[in-house]
Amino acid sequence: MAKRVIIDTDPGVDDALALILALRSPELQVEAITTVSGNVPLEQATKNAYLLLDLFGPKPPPILARGRARSSGKRRIMAQSVHGSDGLGELNRFKNPDGSTRYLYPKLPRDLPDATEVLLDLLKRYPDELTLISLGPLTNLAEALLTDAKRVKRLREVVIMGGAIGVPGNITPAAEFNIFMDPYAAQRVFKSGLPIKLVPLDVTEKVCLRPMEIENLAQAMEEPLGSFLCDATSKVVEYMRQVQGVEAILLHDPLAVGVAIDPYMVKTTLLHVEVETQACITQGMTIADLRPIRNDLEQPPNIQVALEVDTKLFLSFFKERLCRR
């Protein structure tokens, strides 16, 4: 039977690829997509999720729900320099051969449901069955915990793309973007006792697609998916070339979806992990207790952390799913 999942996301080019991967994977039953502000402001994230569902979603589509606009972190930084001003690589640049606009945003319904309410409703319907895949800041899940922690504890699993355990951060030297954007929410979630699997930069930075692979993949894919892959990724690849000297897109969020489907794509270690919420320079840092000596004073482990990844396995899975017709 397919795993029932909710995907909480801030699309984001790699979020878009993660959503497409999930929607094309029979192992998952996507019950809802909930949006959060992160890479782009909430309204743009919601528009993007709606566009992606319109282009690549099943009919009828899963529920789309809007998250809360304000994160407890109150960060104003977005990642538009990486993902483009629209979060999807500036899709309005692209035209069809006949001159018409290639990507038309469908009008977003005004009355979209609230992300927290949808999560709590689905948990009432499917207690102990739902997996939450979190691809953005943890604002919505923290909000749900504040509203009804008892109900949220009926999640079967939470797979989170976020954190940097043994590697530097990507938004500051210490912090990974999703955790940095709402560190209070992340700390609340980490301390909640939920069964968490963390997919941090330690593993996500090892899975990437280079321009040649993107081109080959796009040619093997059906339309409009192939064009979307090239169009949406070109800005990120260029950003990575200029800023990090690596011409590639890192598949952070798709790896989290991969792990929700097949846990053997990564090797996890059970660790005690907390988030720095007080400090200035290290705000949003994920601190894991990696000390080899254990004693009675240590805090109990709370998170399964992915520290190794089978890169080949994931990439061939990802490519196969995108090319599947």
Catalytic residues: 252
Can you tell me which of 5, 7, 8, 12 binds Ca ion, judged by CB under 5 A?
12
Tell me how far, at minimum, the Cβ of 104 lies from ligand BDR, in Å: 24
Question: Which H or E element spans position 130?
Answer: strand 130-134
d(CA 25, CA 56): 12
Binning the chain into helix, strand and coil, the percentages to the nearest 5 are 40, 20, 40
Whichever of 188 and 252 has its CB closer to ligand BDR, that residue is 252
Tell me how far, at minimum, the Cβ of 171 lies from ligand BDR, in Å: 7
Tell me how far, at minimum, the Cβ of 38 lies from Ca ion, in Å: 6
Residues 6+ apart with CB under 8 A from 254: 14, 17, 18, 21, 207, 318
d(CA 323, CA 325): 6
252: contact with ligand BDR by CB under 6 A: yes
135: contact with ligand BDR by CB under 6 A: yes
Residues 6+ apart with CB under 8 A from 153: 192, 193, 194
Residues between 115 and 154 that touch Ca ion (CB under 5 A)? 135-136
202: contact with ligand BDR by CB under 6 A: no
Tell me how far, at minimum, the Cβ of 18 lies from ligand BDR, in Å: 8
Contact 59, 26 (CB under 8 A): no
* CA-to-CA separations, 181 to 39, 53, 160, 189, 309, in angstroms, rounded: 9, 25, 14, 14, 25
* Residue carrying the six token digits 């690829």: 17
Whichever of 226 and 284 has its CB closer to ligand BDR, that residue is 284
Contacted entry of ligand BDR, Ca ion, none for residue 158, CB cut-off 5 to 8 Å set by kind: none
Residues between 60 and 89 that touch ligand BDR (CB under 6 A)? 79
Contact 39, 78 (CB under 8 A): yes
Q: Which stretch binds ligand BDR (CB under 6 A): 111-119, 150-158, 175-183, 267-275?
A: 175-183
Whichever of 65 and 201 has its CB closer to ligand BDR, that residue is 201
- Residue count at the site for ligand BDR (CB under 6 A)? 14
Return the amino acid letter for 277. Answer: T
Can you tell me which of 44, 46, 131, 178 binds ligand BDR, judged by CB under 6 A?
178
Site of interaction with ligand BDR (CB under 6 A): 12, 14-15, 39, 79, 135-136, 161, 170, 176-178, 252-253
